[in-house]
């Protein structure tokens, strides 16, 4: 999720035990991914995400070597799964060039690139159309100065316990003071067991490691299925989402398949949390849906119908899709760049939480079963849309693609 476009600053009212030493000690150590099965499984999502959100990826910021490593991993996986390259010059990569002031790719070659792959459809005509599934491959890089992981974790827990959403500005001062005392208590007892653990890596396990590995798992499942969907499946792991949706902007302005042939885009960004401790109203069946009727009422209806038909439906939360919602979620992830061209979209997310854009967004805090069920659902919607005898009907007005997004 892109935090920069909101124009709002998250207020962190207390950080205890912050140690601004220059050490950049790594807190997580993780296994590398190995073999995977064709099913969308908790095991595969876990091994993939521990690898993808590992400290060695250095926060995957576009413009840095971390983004080269992350995208190299994705391309290697796409090759291993037998996906067709969908990027430039027969490769899996589409390098983006941007003049945005937020973006300084520096001298690292290929340090900001989309990863693009295709699973060819089975119908001789419909295979020329595409259902796009996306996530973003980048995150926000290194945090300077380093911070004590456990202090931050304790603070985040306390912020969430305040009841109101953690970004709520209305938390009273007295409540804040109580929270501060609570955090200090936790840290004091923790310090008797172990010293401070400095952490400087924004691992982005949820944002958007979760969506990224979900796309891989969906691709693996479809690539292994004996009967392919009628339409082709277009997989795009966008870069520079955190810089202002720049990878998705680049891809939709320089598409590697005809833009008019993309019949829908399903986006996943932060799909690995959403528990009761993460967000108001959260729980194991919690899922936010945003934008699904903003271009095509039919696509929104399909998402709802398919959810109701599941053995264990999600509790879909549409409140963040409301016109004028202050969080502007519809404008803050890659799907918007497709929607502005009249491509029906749906954005799936388990929502913001206290670990958002913090060094504590790590693989150990992901709910892998929740993530598995979201990936499974998006897989089913994608295959259903890819097998429709018509494209999802566009029945909402499409504005100027260059205009500023308004939710």
The CB-of-182 to Zn ion minimum distance in angstroms stands at: 27
- Of the two residues 219 and 240, which places its CB atom closer to Zn ion in the complex? 240
Cα distance between residue 301 and residue 328, in whole Å: 22
The CB-of-241 to Zn ion minimum distance in angstroms stands at: 7
Q: Which residues contact 55 (CB under 8 A, 6 or more apart)?
A: 26, 27, 28, 29, 30, 201, 203
Stretch that binds Zn ion, among 111-119, 171-179, 202-210, 309-317 (CB under 5 A): 202-210
Quick check: 118 and 233 in contact, CB under 8 A?
A: yes
Residue whose token pair is 């890596």: 201
- Of the two residues 207 and 317, which places its CB atom closer to Zn ion in the complex? 207
Q: How far lies 142's CA from each of 32, 56, 109, 147, 394, in Å?
A: 21, 11, 19, 11, 41
The CB-of-335 to Zn ion minimum distance in angstroms stands at: 14
Helix (H, G, I), strand (E, B) or coil at 189: helix
Cα distance between residue 185 and residue 403, in whole Å: 50
The CB-of-160 to Zn ion minimum distance in angstroms stands at: 18
- Can the peptide bond before residue 145 be classed as cis, meaning omega within 30 degrees of 0? yes
- Of the two residues 221 and 236, which places its CB atom closer to Zn ion in the complex? 236
Stretch that binds Zn ion, among 1-9, 290-298, 315-323, 347-355 (CB under 5 A): 1-9
Considering only residues 89-108, where is the footprint of Zn ion by CB under 5 A?
Answer: none
The CB-of-6 to Zn ion minimum distance in angstroms stands at: 11
Considering only residues 25-64, where is the footprint of Zn ion by CB under 5 A?
Answer: none
Stretch that binds Zn ion, among 68-76, 204-212, 344-352, 386-394 (CB under 5 A): 204-212
Cβ count near 142 (within 10 Å): 15
- Tell me how many residues contact Zn ion (CB under 5 A): 2
The CB-of-385 to Zn ion minimum distance in angstroms stands at: 26
Tell which one of 138, 207, 362, 367 touches Zn ion (CB under 5 A): 207
Tell which one of 1, 57, 154, 268 touches Zn ion (CB under 5 A): 1
Tokens found for residue 300: 């929104």
The CB-of-207 to Zn ion minimum distance in angstroms stands at: 4
Cα distance between residue 348 and residue 358, in whole Å: 21
The CB-of-152 to Zn ion minimum distance in angstroms stands at: 17
**SS percent in the chain: helix, strand, coil, step 5:** 35, 15, 50
Residue whose C-alpha is closest to residue 111's, from 162, 62, 169, 38: 62
- Angle made by CA atoms 171, 244, 10, in degrees to the nearest 5: 15
**Per-residue DSSP letter, 57:** G
- Of the two residues 148 and 207, which places its CB atom closer to Zn ion in the complex? 207
Residue nearest Zn ion (C-beta atom): 207
| Contact characters 162-201, Zn ion, x per CB under 5 A | ----------------------------------------
Asked if 138 interacts with Zn ion (CB under 5 A), we say no
The CB-of-1 to Zn ion minimum distance in angstroms stands at: 4
Residue whose C-alpha is closest to residue 61's, from 152, 5, 144: 144
- Of the two residues 127 and 273, which places its CB atom closer to Zn ion in the complex? 273
The CB-of-242 to Zn ion minimum distance in angstroms stands at: 5
Cα distance between residue 354 and residue 278, in whole Å: 7
Tokens found for residue 53: 């959100």
- Of the two residues 1 and 343, which places its CB atom closer to Zn ion in the complex? 1
Stretch that binds Zn ion, among 194-202, 206-214, 315-323, 379-387 (CB under 5 A): 206-214
- Of the two residues 208 and 217, which places its CB atom closer to Zn ion in the complex? 208
- Of the two residues 1 and 58, which places its CB atom closer to Zn ion in the complex? 1
**Per-residue DSSP letter, 19:** -
Cα distance between residue 242 and residue 165, in whole Å: 22
- Of the two residues 207 and 362, which places its CB atom closer to Zn ion in the complex? 207
**Per-residue DSSP letter, 169:** T
- Of the two residues 1 and 295, which places its CB atom closer to Zn ion in the complex? 1
Q: Taking each helix axis as running N to C, give the angle between helix 211-224 and helix 42-52, from 0 to 180 degrees, rounded to the nearest 10.
A: 130
Stretch that binds Zn ion, among 26-34, 114-122, 203-211, 326-334 (CB under 5 A): 203-211
- Of the two residues 1 and 119, which places its CB atom closer to Zn ion in the complex? 1
Cα distance between residue 64 and residue 57, in whole Å: 10
- Rg over alpha carbons for the chain, rounded to the nearest Å, is 21
Residue ranges in contact with Zn ion by CB under 5 A: 1, 207
């Amino acid at each position: 999720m892109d935090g920069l476009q909101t124009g709002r600053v998250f207020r962190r009212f207390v950080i205890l035990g912050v140690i601004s030493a220059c050490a950049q000690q790594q807190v997580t150590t993780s296994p590398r991914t190995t073999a995977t099965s064709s099913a969308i499984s908790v095991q595969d999502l876990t091994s993939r995400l521990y690898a993808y959100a590992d400290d060695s990826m250095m926060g995957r910021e576009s413009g840095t070597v971390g983004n080269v490593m992350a995208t190299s991993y994705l391309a290697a996986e796409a090759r291993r799964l037998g996906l067709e390259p969908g990027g430039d010059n027969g490769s899996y990569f589409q390098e983006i060039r941007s003049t945005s002031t937020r973006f300084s790719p520096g001298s690292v070659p290929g340090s900001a690139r989309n990863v693009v792959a295709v699973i060819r459809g089975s119908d001789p005509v419909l295979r020329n159309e595409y259902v796009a599934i996306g996530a973003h491959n980048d995150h926000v890089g290194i945090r300077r100065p380093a911070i004590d992981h456990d202090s931050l974790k304790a603070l985040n827990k306390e912020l969430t316990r305040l009841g109101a959403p953690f970004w709520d500005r209305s938390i009273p001062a007295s409540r804040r003071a109580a929270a501060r005392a609570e955090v200090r208590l936790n840290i004091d007892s923790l310090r008797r067991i172990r010293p401070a653990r400095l952490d400087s890596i924004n691992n982005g396990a949820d944002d958007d490691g979760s969506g990224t590995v979900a796309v891989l798992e969906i691709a693996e499942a479809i690539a292994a299925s004996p009967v392919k969907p009628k339409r082709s499946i277009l997989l795009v792991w966008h870069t520079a989402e955190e810089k202002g949706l720049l990878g998705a902007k680049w891809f939709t302005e320089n598409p590697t398949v005809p833009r008019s042939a993309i019949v829908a885009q399903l986006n996943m960004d932060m799909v690995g949390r959403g528990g009761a401790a993460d967000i108001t109203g959260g729980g194991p069946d919690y899922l936010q849906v945003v934008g699904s009727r903003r271009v095509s009422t039919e696509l929104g209806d399909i998402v709802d119908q398919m959810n109701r038909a599941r053995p264990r439906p999600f509790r879909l939360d549409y409140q963040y899709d409301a016109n004028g919602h202050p969080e502007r979620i519809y404008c803050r992830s890659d799907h918007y760049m497709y929607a502005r061209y009249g491509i029906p979209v749906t954005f799936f997310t388990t929502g913001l939480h206290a670990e958002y854009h913090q060094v504590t967004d790590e693989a150990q805090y992901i709910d892998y079963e929740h993530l598995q069920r979201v990936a499974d659902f998006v897989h089913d919607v994608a295959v259903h849309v890819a097998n429709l005898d018509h494209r999802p009907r566009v029945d909402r007005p499409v504005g100027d693609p260059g205009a500023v997004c308004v939710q």
